[in-house]
Structure 1
Amino acid sequence: MIGTKGYAAQSPTTDLAPWDFDRREVGAHDVQFDIQYCGVCHSDLHQIRNDWFEGIFPMVPGHEIVGRVVKVGDQVTKFKVGDIAGTGCMVNSCRTCENCKDGLEQYCLHGNTQTYNSLDSYGDGSPTYGGYSNTIVVNEDFVLHVSDKTDLAATAPLLCAGITTYSPLRHWKVGKGHKLAVLGLGGLGHMGVKFGVAFGAEVTVLSTSPKKEEDAKKLGAHHFVVTSDPAQVEAVKGSFDFILDTVSAPHDFNFYLSLLRTNGTHICVGVPPEPAEIAAFSLLGGRKSVAGSGIGGIKETQEMLDFCAENNIVSDIELIDIKDIHTAYERMEKGDVRYRFVIDMATL
């Protein structure tokens, strides 16, 4: 076994603290890489608190992971020692179902294995532990190539926040000639703006906070609408082809559906804690759709990383020491981050 240092929550009511544990030895098809940076996702906080479902404890969060390969299995063909590698939200899947064969491992019909807080039912059945640690072992099919010409710390959040916004925009072929509204300007939203602009769409940020307008424009947004201002809202009613909804707090879907034009689509990538109530008339009056999207598959995630490297796209981040993770969580809950915390794992 490989002795590993990490930060773990021992229960839903305890803070993260140093925890030593063992990872499996490197198998024939495994890649081990030492973690240099790990992004902090709001879902990390949700999961250590059991907000969504009962977790597996001790829990080591983290699924925006970038580091350098230190060992590969004797059957590995995709990586060599010294490569820069990344792993996102999943580390295994059944490989045999229709979705897996189509490169949609994120929608594995038998359930994929999450990078943490999951049981690897396609491996030895043991719990998975994430990126708040100094090293990780992952099957080569779920490891991504990361360009060494990018800012590695700012690249880490692409493994979740990046692909979560890239995938739906590509699936719905959002681009030139489309009016895209990005609802919310946080870790996901700021990447949605960057990708929307890069794909050629006319991008508007929808926000309850007037103070975010300057940031939205700096990120490349063409327009900004304060959703608490009736006059601004009235001016954009029925105008958007797509709304990319990144908000994880409760909000009124019917209100935002009114901003879509005929045949418009409201795409949910945020995860509010309560079920949405959508009136049928909000959909019928304009043949509008509400859709959802998770992360991307491995092939699409690699495509996204390559696109970002070629177009100099990274996340806007604040680099922190791991000892400051609880302060980061507190600030994240208040929206006080521009726009993603990333842990420097050298501080572990």
Structure 2
Amino acid sequence: MTLPLRPNYFKCPPLSGDEKDYLLTQAHRICQETALNALTIVKNPTTKVVVNQCTKRRAQLHYGTDIIDSNMYGITGKTQIKTSYEELIEFFHLTSQKKVRTFGNVVGQAILDRVTLYNLTDQTDDPSSAFIYAGVQWSVIECNVIHPSLTLKRDTCFLEVLNYITVSDPDTGEVRRGFIRAVHSLALDCCPSLRSTHNIVRSALVRSGHLFLETEQPGLFDYYYAYVVADPGKTPKFFNIKVFQRIVGQMLNLEHHIALKRLPKLLQTALNFPNRPYRSTKCIHYCEACDAKFKMLHSKHHCFFCRQIVCTSCIQTYKVPVAGRERTKVEVCTECFCGNKPKRGIL
């Protein structure tokens, strides 16, 4: 049988009031436990560092075990991201097939099918809801960061929750505010395994998800991505960890995606107002972003927005759609693109 599944493939009976209340209680619990999972695992030593070549943002990856069941292990990544609550909700609230595809492309997962089994609550329909969104989903994925020959398609039945969160750091006790997308697998009779019919392996994520906590700098969040698998099967642990690292490392794609979506509006605004003239590069001997010395024959570039003269490492070229024009080609420094300031050399 093929994917996507035919409509109404899963026969899910209506939830009783008690069943819905139970799932909503679970939704609140997994938000807190996912946040604590992320904040606890990230205290362990760094096992790998990954870098996004466009934003120059780094993510530190940490190995650890689940806070509830130490037999379950996973990876948590930590980085920072310049964004807003509105942008995060827009990205993670998967209200259309287009948004599902975009989400999959950004996080490095080909989402072959996704079915909402139960919509529990949604602030779009009920502004008084205690959650931005909570629902039970079924999804089947093919991981883009692993060669298809090395893995079978995997599906999961899970509780998905989007919400604002207040959490206490397990070490310092510091109370912090933020946003979370938490997922936790469920076993439902109406959503059985598809191994025999579709050759899809049922997997389970526990207390996993994306956590964004405010920092002292407005608009800058500490970003954590916890990925903990309940039953990784018979695959060797070292291989699973490598796979988890590649999956979690895709977290750096989110800032690049959000920054790209901002560019058309930023460029339109800039084109409506006269900008400062470009300065001569003749007397500039060091990159004005990272302080790297310009060597002979090395290119010097002007950022379209801030007019700084920077090196090749600190700038990217983008073709940006602008209303009433063809795609406009602009060079944008890393700081103007995503707010990430390059690390300067020590003088």
Which TM-score bucket, shorter chain as reference? under 0.3
> TM-score, structure 2 length as denominator?
0.26
> TM-score, structure 1 length as denominator?
0.26
Question: Greater Rg, structure 1 or structure 2?
Answer: 2
Identify, as 1 or 2, the structure richer in strand.
Answer: 2
